[in-house]
Structure 1
Amino acid sequence: MASPASDPLWFFTPVQIATTVIAGMNCGASALQSPLTWPMLQYVDVPIHYVGRQTENLLHGSEMIFPPFNGICTLANLVLSGFAYYNRDRTDTYASAKLPLTALAFGLHVATTVYTLTIMAPYNEKLKVASRELNRGVDRVGKPGEEGTDGQKKSAEAFRDAQVRWKTLNYGRGIVMLSAAIANAMALKA
Structure 2
Amino acid sequence: MGMGIATGVLAVGLIGGGTFAYFSDTETSNNTFAAGTLDLTLKPTEIINVNNIKPGDWMNRSFKLKNDGSLDISKVLLSTDYTVTDANGNNNDDFGKHIRVNFMWNKDKSITGSWTGLDQVVWYTTLDELKGMSPDAVANKVFVPHFEEKGGLKAGDSDTLDVQFEFVENNQDQNEFQGDSLNLTWKFEAKQGKGVSK
Asked if these proteins are the same fold (TM beyond 0.5), I'd say no
When you count strand as a share of all residues, which structure comes out higher?
2
Structure index of larger Rg: 2
Higher relative contact order (CA 8 A, sep 6+): 1
Q: Using structure 2 for the length normalisation, give the TM-score.
A: 0.25
- The structure with more helix, counted as a fraction of residues: 1
